[in-house]
Structure 1
Amino acid sequence: MDSKTHTTDHSCGRVPRRTFLADVGMGFTGMVLGAMLHRDKIARGAGAEEWLPPDGKPHFAPKAKSVIWLFMIGGTSHMESFDPKPALNRYAGKTIAESPYADALKNPLAGNVRIVVPDDANGHIRQILYPLQVGSRKRGESGLEISDWWPNLGDCADDIALVRSMWTTDNNHGAQLQFHTGRHALEGPFPTIGSWVHYGLGSLNEDLPQFVVLGTPIADCCGGQAGHGAHYLGPEHDGVQFSVDPKSPLPFATPGPEVYREEQEREFELLGRLNRLSSIQYPDDPALRARIKSYELAFRMQAAVPEVLQFSNERNAIQSLYGLDRPETKTFGEQCLSARRLVERGVRFVQIFHGNNGGAGAWDAHGGLKAGHSKLCGQVDRPIAGLLKDLKQRGLLDETLVVWATEFGRTPGAQGGDGRDHHPFGFSVWMAGGGIKGGIAHGATDELGFHAVENRHYVTDIHATILHQMGLDPRRLEVPGQKRLEIDYGQPIREIIA
């Protein structure tokens, strides 16, 4: 046989050099050696034309190491949370046209994107002004005005930066996916902000995923798994769902009580050898690459994740700080405490969802706003405040960026007798830690809370701010062949950066 046959025909018993190199490697390194060689243009020659993913290093000095992303599903009312509007009480019962603010009905321009304002028949204007359903007061030395449904978070007012001038283009709950990807849901799925962070920076802890999802994610109607997906970046950058149940934190990756760890190690060893051969033969297959990584990571996580979720080794005072001793706050409190323990161990991005009800979300207050929002705020206010206070006392807040968000706000006008409809034209989010100024309010809506009118920000400006604080330039994360619009990149909100 000639030399060509010797290097290509595995049946003759000869193993190509690349296969041998990968086979002698151990564990994770050996399993992905072929892909690494391919990525570095060793396997195919230095002149090969191919896309090189990031090297896991920030583009410039970062101010934050990790992100905790808190998302309220359904659309929290900005007026009953972080942007109170006394004019709603003064003109309650009047139409918008009868108030001094009739101009609010004019179509706005949102950057270069025109938002089409639907008429009443479509149910998104709601002409009759509805009074505020809760009081508010100035909090902290900064005097940020926050509603009385957020008393514990109000204690942290001097640590947060309110952004009261958000806008988006989807007036239905596809806006949940849009907030995570920056694109309207009708345009198709795109990578989420958590996936971009994972893709750009890589791992700080090889025993834990770098993008973790807690709580029940958005429902299929509003984006589903795409709300924490990586799309064209590859499945290895998807978020990994955890359960805070220490008895079953990884039900998808637990072999069961009848399988001994030694037996599983042998199984993984065999699987690794088979996958190594496949990774050399198919180095461009992202699904194979993700599967190899996920098998190895899942095995390591079986030991690492239960330890993260052992809340019993936390002092009683810390458990109480998060509300673990109260039935109404226990579930979300465990998720927030888990988030702290995860970033403490080097996890880059922790995404926590609240309010999944199998549909549009519990915060979707078309009716019963007062009863619904007061209950929901009661579930999350103490845990979120506890998270900020705990991070701060441990010296972790400076390097952990906490983001609170929701897909849009609620209408100034009433829906039915006691609710508010969807409102994409102006709403609020906030950020804290990770090099963000505290005790400030940036941007503003008009007197009715209808339009963002000052320092207006599309949702990707939040993404750009996160990436900037993590030391990443979104333009340098460009993937060849994947078209991105100018608005996809966003602009860091410089005014809130310390």
Structure 2
Amino acid sequence: MKTPLCSNGRPRRIFLSDCGMGLTGMVLGSMLGQNLKAETPDGKPHFPPKAKRVIWLFMLGGVSHVESFDPKPELNKYAGKSIGDTPYKDSLANPAVKDNAKSIMLDTRKLQLSLYPMQTGFKKYGQSGAEVSDWFPHIGSAVDDIAIVRSAWTTDNDHGAILQFHTGRHILDGFLPTIGSWAHYGLGSLNENLPSFVVLGEPPSDCCGGNGTHGSGYLGPEHSGVHLEVNPDHPLPFVSPGADVYRKEQQREFEFINKLNSIAAVEYPADAALKARIKSYELAYRMQMAVPEAIQFKEENEETKRLYGLDQENTKGFGEVCLAARRLSERGVRFVQIYHGGAGNAWDAHKALKKNHGELSAKVDKPIAGLLKDLKQRGMLDDTIVVWATEFGRTPGAEAGDGRDHHPYGFSIFMAGAGIKRGVVHGATDEIGFHAVTDRHYVTDVHATVLKLMGIDPRRLEVPGRKRLEIDYGKPIEGILS
């Protein structure tokens, strides 16, 4: 269908736009404004928030809960025996966990798996006495500031669970809005010169959701995460104009592009991709000054750099990422999502678990603890939420002799900061770490907890024509809320 033309041959949409100061333009603008308000949140919280921002740490591949934050001595007691030959054979069909039975058909072969002993020791830390693996001693030293949840569960037994953890839905349901995009959509930006939703680290591969794990689905591309490189020398290679382009020249280019985009926007007012592109050009221009300053660490003192492990080769890489997260959060980024493990899902320890987890934990333990301690000493932990998570745990049984398989039935996450109880352990798996059995929490309960603390009621973030499932909303984890 051709665009209707006015008598002078100009498209009607452009004519109406140019008449914006007239009565028709004012009425049309009012109508469009009302529609916009009906479909888009106003950026204000629904109730008084406790948190302004979120730092979301995600370990790709599946960290073993029984070698991190959920010790299971019974694994050592019955090591080498098949689950079917232990007192826990009935735990595989535990009637208390019907959710799992509905969504995942239990594999009877798991009965034949030999229980694999814990590959590291555990120690009680702090006044809370919470037990943390010997592989995470630095996080253990901060345990009185965190809430460990030992009863998370999901439904995808493959690495599509990475996407599911961020959207709440199975990967076969498609690419839906992620937790970061909901926060962006509901509250907007705290700093117009920086993206509201930033992604650091290497995202997972396409088979696990790829960039969809920080995407925005039907909310529109402007609410997706912006991936930044933590490279103080070249933090923005994708928007740098090059050394031979003068700033005034680039400014004129942006003005010309915006003029062209504005003309196109009148012709295609409903084009979400075009709107997002215009916003991205504008933001990219402003980011060229703001982002390099945020990624520079020269002004940080040596004590702070040591806190994040920047003085050690093994921890420097991830330490820089965590320090960049603090600096970006400090400057108004609403949601910082950090990946560790990359496209290879490095924590996926089907074999050589002791070597795999031992080496990887040594790279992230000190930087994560440093982030928690740095936020606390700056007073930022009072209005920042920190989430540590992974897509699932690992089986109590052995695989390939010295590894563990994927395990969505029960695993651990932890949270800290604004509105979160400190030094508590919530929920539990059974004696061998197979099922989450006490205070069980599907992954969207983590989302609901974060959004509640940010002052957002997810049921009020309605998008016309989109029906969300009950499970999409989740329920706040009240047991860890202060």
Same fold (TM over 0.5): yes
Greater displacement, 269-278 / 290-299: 269-278
Given the alignment, which residue of 84, 89, 99 partners 2:76? 89
Q: Is the aligned partner of 1:313 residue 2:312? A: no
CA spacing shift, 1:112–1:382, aligned 2, 3 Å: closer
CA spacing shift, 1:15–1:351, aligned 2, 3 Å: closer
Q: Within 2, Cα distance between the matches of 1:193 and 1:433?
A: 18
Q: Within 1, Cα distance between the matches of 2:260 and 2:352?
A: 57
Q: Within 1, Cα distance between the matches of 2:175 and 2:15?
A: 40
Q: Which residue of 1 aligns with 2:434?
A: 450
Q: Which residue of 1 aligns with 2:480?
A: 496
Q: What is the 5 A alignment of 1:402-481? A: 402-481=386-465
Q: Which residue of 2 aligns with 1:32?
A: none
**Counterpart residue identity of residue 465, structure 1:** T
Contact map agreement 1:107 1:117 (CA 8 A) in 2? no
Q: Within 1, Cα distance between the matches of 2:9 and 2:101?
A: 58
Unaligned runs of 5+ in 1: 23-36
Q: Within 2, Cα distance between the matches of 1:417 and 1:304?
A: 50
Q: Within 2, Cα distance between the matches of 1:390 and 1:458?
A: 30
**Counterpart residue identity of residue 435, structure 2:** H
Q: Within 1, Cα distance between the matches of 2:392 and 2:153?
A: 7
Q: What is the 5 A alignment of 1:68-467? A: 68-106=55-93, 109-111=97-99, 114-119=102-107, 127-356=113-342, 358-359=343-344, 361-467=345-451
Q: CA deviation at 1:204?
A: 0.6
Q: Which residue of 2 aligns with 1:31?
A: none
Q: CA deviation at 1:115?
A: 3.1
Aligned to 2:252, the other structure's residue is in SS state helix
Q: Within 2, Cα distance between the matches of 1:320 and 1:362?
A: 25
Contact map agreement 1:126 1:411 (CA 8 A) in 2? no
Contact map agreement 1:7 1:15 (CA 8 A) in 2? no
Aligned residues: 475
1:404-461 deviation line (CA, Å, top 9, x unaligned)? 0000000000001100000000000000002100100110000000000000000000
**Counterpart residue identity of residue 89, structure 1:** N
**Counterpart residue identity of residue 103, structure 2:** I
Q: Within 2, Cα distance between the matches of 1:5 and 1:105?
A: 69
Q: Within 1, Cα distance between the matches of 2:33 and 2:146?
A: 49
Aligned to 1:385, the other structure's residue is in SS state helix
Q: CA deviation at 1:113?
A: 6.8
1:128-184 deviation line (CA, Å, top 9, x unaligned)? 100000000111000000000000001110000001001100001100000010000
Aligned to 2:264, the other structure's residue is in SS state helix
Q: Within 2, Cα distance between the matches of 1:110 and 1:207?
A: 48
1:14-35 deviation line (CA, Å, top 9, x unaligned)? 974634769xxxxxxxxxxxxx
1:229-282 deviation line (CA, Å, top 9, x unaligned)? 001000000100000112221222111111111100000111111112222332
CA spacing shift, 1:57–1:126, aligned 2, 3 Å: farther
Aligned to 1:114, the other structure's residue is in SS state helix
Given the alignment, which residue of 44, 54, 57 partners 2:41? 54
**Counterpart residue identity of residue 104, structure 2:** V
CA spacing shift, 1:195–1:110, aligned 2, 3 Å: farther
Contact map agreement 2:349 2:356 (CA 8 A) in 1? yes
CA spacing shift, 1:126–1:76, aligned 2, 3 Å: farther
Q: What is the 5 A alignment of 1:31-50? A: 42=29, 44=31
**Counterpart residue identity of residue 208, structure 1:** L
Q: CA deviation at 1:107?
A: 5.8
Unaligned runs of 5+ in 2: none
TM-score, normalized by length of structure 2?
0.94
Q: CA deviation at 1:51?
A: 4.8
Q: CA deviation at 1:480?
A: 1.6
Q: Within 2, Cα distance between the matches of 1:294 and 1:285?
A: 14
Q: CA deviation at 1:117?
A: 3.5
TM-score, normalized by length of structure 1?
0.91
Contact map agreement 2:150 2:425 (CA 8 A) in 1? yes
**Counterpart residue identity of residue 322, structure 1:** Y
Q: Within 2, Cα distance between the matches of 1:60 and 1:481?
A: 26
Aligned to 1:352, the other structure's residue is in SS state strand
Q: Within 1, Cα distance between the matches of 2:433 and 2:280?
A: 46
**Counterpart residue identity of residue 129, structure 1:** L
Q: What's the RMSD between the two structures over aligned residues?
A: 2.3
CA spacing shift, 1:486–1:15, aligned 2, 3 Å: closer
Q: Within 2, Cα distance between the matches of 1:438 and 1:7?
A: 70
Greater displacement, 418-427 / 242-251: 242-251
Contact map agreement 1:107 1:116 (CA 8 A) in 2? no
Q: CA deviation at 1:310?
A: 0.8
Q: Within 1, Cα distance between the matches of 2:389 and 2:103?
A: 21
